[in-house]
Amino acid sequence: MSTPLLVRALRGEPVERPPVWFMRQAGRSLPEYRALRSSRSLLQLARAPELTAEATMQPVRRHGVDAAILFSDIVVPLVGVGVELEIRPGLGPVIAKPIRTASDVRRLRPLCPEEDLPEVAEAVGLLRTELEVPLIGFAGGPFTLASYLIEGGPSKTQATTRAMMFGQPALFCELLERLAGIAAASLRAQVQAGAAAVQVFESWIGSLSRPQYEQYVAGPTRALFDQLTDLDVPRVLFGVGTGHLLEAMAATGPDAIGLDWRTSVADARERLGPGIALQGNLDPAALLAPWPVTEREARAVLVDAPETGYIFNLGHGVLPSTPPETLGRLVELVHGHKLEAIA
């Protein structure tokens, strides 16, 4: 079997056109997903292999994207190691007992995927036989997972998280190392079951200054990537509002960086050089506008994109109110992109 387009692009190899997929392509923007969810919680869906596989395949069927991403949530591995939490609709994960002390941190045990989350590998196995495009495995990054655990839920500026970072740096470091281990174990299991690439969603690192990121988060992130090097799959690191962190993120060892809509692909390429692939970064809000506006904004992203080492995506997850037709038209636009350029 030839190497999939997505994997070649992530490796910086020659491609005929950029691959395209969307963060949160499996989810509430699709009526068929909302039907699947109607009588179930997100966590129920993410822990039932057939349903996980179905949710994962829906956007591939409907939009013709070049990659699937496992339907799940970054907190699933935390559930696997026994953290009590629920995902509240419209809010996000809420942790029953937020982590604040050394004994809280030390209760966070390593993840044994085959024991703790066998359903994830099972879902990936099902997808391996059914999908015609590569599957992206994913996990939350150590800082982002820590922020949910420390804050007790979603937070606007992660101030309580940074307060622990300042006030209990050794404990904070231990927490991030544990979480990096959990994320790495989860990703390893997904790759061993068939995922062809992985993405680390380190969504909220943008709340850190660069010195803070380098001092407290870069190390555990590097440890995470190091634990996956032998698997020979490309690894993407994504965060929101990370224009000030790109070089430090790149230095942790990923094969690709996911950009949000505030850093242009051209700027990122200039800063990071051609040795690392770039993914992004159409503003998801542009998909709520009439198609000519969406198209104009998408073309502005594509014009900036390098010929190799580039994957088209949004700058953050698909918004639930996005018309599915718009996602389909975007896929068509990207699929026609290089062909047009050559003709």
Amino acid at 65: V
d(CA 22, CA 318): 7
Closest alpha carbon to 131 in 64, 231, 82, 84: 64
Please identify which residue in 20, 105, 286, 333 interacts with its own copies, judged by CB under 8 A. 286
d(CA 242, CA 268): 11
What is the closest distance, in whole angstroms, from the C-beta atom of residue 6 to its own copies in the complex? 26
From 11, 28, 222, 329, the catalytic residue: 28
From 8, 17, 62, 73, the catalytic residue: 73
Helix (H), strand (E) at residue 138:
strand 135-140
222 in active site: no
Our measurement of the distance from residue 227's CA atom to the centroid of its chain's CA atoms, rounded to an integer in Å, reads 18
188 in active site: no
Please identify which residue in 297, 301, 309, 327 interacts with its own copies, judged by CB under 8 A. 297
Which two tokens mark 3?
Answer: 């190497």
What is the closest distance, in whole angstroms, from the C-beta atom of residue 5 to its own copies in the complex? 28
Contact 220, 177 (CB under 8 A): yes
How many H helices and E strands in the chain? 18, 9
**Strand locations in 196-286, DSSP E?**
197-201, 235-238, 256-258, 277-282
What is the closest distance, in whole angstroms, from the C-beta atom of residue 27 to its own copies in the complex? 14
Q: Give me the residue label for tokens 């190390």.
A: 219
Of 208 and 334, the one with the shorter C-beta distance to its own copies is 208
Check whether the bond before 281 is cis (ω within 30° of 0): yes
d(CA 20, CA 60): 11
What is the closest distance, in whole angstroms, from the C-beta atom of residue 314 to its own copies in the complex? 11
What is the closest distance, in whole angstroms, from the C-beta atom of residue 202 to its own copies in the complex? 16
24 in active site: yes
Of 124 and 240, the one with the shorter C-beta distance to its own copies is 240
24 binds its own copies (CB under 8 A): no
Of 105 and 187, the one with the shorter C-beta distance to its own copies is 105
Q: Give me the residue label for tokens 């080492």.
A: 309
Q: Which long-range contacts (CB under 8 A, 24 or more apart) does 128-133 make?
A: 128/193, 128/194, 130/53, 130/57, 131/56, 131/57, 131/60, 131/68, 132/60, 133/4, 133/6, 133/60, 133/65, 133/66, 133/67, 133/68
What is the closest distance, in whole angstroms, from the C-beta atom of residue 251 to its own copies in the complex? 18
Of 36 and 250, the one with the shorter C-beta distance to its own copies is 250
268 binds its own copies (CB under 8 A): no
Q: Give me the residue label for tokens 């006030």.
A: 167
Contact 143, 202 (CB under 8 A): yes
Q: What does the per-residue mask of binding to its own copies show for 219-258, with x meaning CB under 8 A?
A: ---------------------xx-xx--------------
73 in active site: yes
Please identify which residue in 96, 156, 170, 230 interacts with its own copies, judged by CB under 8 A. 156
338 binds its own copies (CB under 8 A): no
Of 109 and 296, the one with the shorter C-beta distance to its own copies is 296
From 33, 47, 62, 148, the catalytic residue: 148
165 binds its own copies (CB under 8 A): yes
Of 130 and 267, the one with the shorter C-beta distance to its own copies is 267
206 binds its own copies (CB under 8 A): yes
Closest alpha carbon to 158 in 167, 169, 150: 150
329 in active site: no
167 binds its own copies (CB under 8 A): yes
157 binds its own copies (CB under 8 A): yes
Which residues have a catalytic role annotated? 24, 28, 37, 73, 148
| Interface ranges with its own copies (CB under 8 A) | 154, 156-157, 159-163, 165-167, 206-210, 212, 240-241, 243-244, 261-264, 283-286, 288-290, 293-294, 297, 316, 319
